[in-house]
């Protein structure tokens, strides 16, 4: 996992930054950070369900927003905690396309050490860009 929480970005929210050498790693690490915000023991997550996500957008940062917001939706509607099984993000003719298989299980308060309930992904300081060493993303979550 290559993400770090940012203490000085938002006072009432949780912010994180992800650095990766490629787009697949960027989105996978963002999903890891998202899960780590929700529970203290993400390594104990079991895969009892798989969900396929297919998204596209002209802008990389908005694609990341859509991806994480889908995870919020699946948590709220189905009670699922999810981690990336496979993620494929690539540049397409009209922007970026993502195909991801997310695996996980419903939240179990007996086994999962809850940290925070994510309400939404925000646009505040949202960033996803190519850098000299790969890619960088910054995300602020409303908790």
CATH number, domain with residue 92: 3.55.10.10
Q: What is the pLDDT of residue 2?
A: 75
Are 39 and 81 in contact by the 8 Å Cβ rule? The answer is: yes
Query: Which letter does DSSP use for residue 44 in this model?
Result: G
Secondary structure (3-state) at 113: coil
CA–CA separation, 53 and 113 (whole Å): 26
Put simply, whether the predicted model's pTM sits higher than 0.85 gets the answer yes
Any idea how long the chain is? 143
Count of domains for the chain: 1
Strand extents, DSSP E, the chain: 3-6, 14-20, 49-57, 80-92, 95-106, 120-121, 127-131, 134-142
Q: What is the pLDDT of residue 5?
A: 75
H helix or E strand, kind and range, residue 67: helix 60-78
Q: What is the pLDDT of residue 11?
A: 60
Strand extents, DSSP E, 58-133: 80-92, 95-106, 120-121, 127-131
Nearest to 134 by CA among 30, 43, 25, 15: 25
- Low pLDDT (below 50) residues in the chain: none
Q: What is the pLDDT of residue 12?
A: 62
CA–CA separation, 28 and 84 (whole Å): 6
Q: Cα-flanking dihedrals φ and ψ of residue 60, to 5°?
A: -60, -40
Q: What is the pLDDT of residue 10?
A: 58
109: containing domain: 3-142
């Amino acid at each position: 996992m290559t993400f770090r929480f940012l203490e000085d970005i938002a006072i009432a929210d949780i912010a994180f930054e992800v650095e990766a050498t490629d787009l697949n790693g960027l989105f996978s690490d963002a999903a890891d950070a998202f899960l780590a915000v929700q529970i203290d023991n993400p390594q104990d997550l079991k895969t009892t369900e798989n969900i396929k996500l297919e998204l596209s957008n002209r802008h990389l940062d908005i694609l990341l927003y859509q991806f994480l917001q889908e995870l919020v939706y699946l948590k709220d509607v189905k009670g699922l905690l999810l981690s990336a099984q496979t993620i494929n993000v690539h540049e397409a003719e009209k922007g970026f396309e993502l195909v991801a298989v997310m695996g996980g299980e419903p939240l179990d308060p007996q086994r999962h050490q809850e940290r925070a309930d994510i309400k939404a992904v925000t646009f505040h300081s949202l960033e996803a860009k190519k850098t000299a060493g790969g890619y960088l993303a910054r995300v602020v979550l409303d908790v």
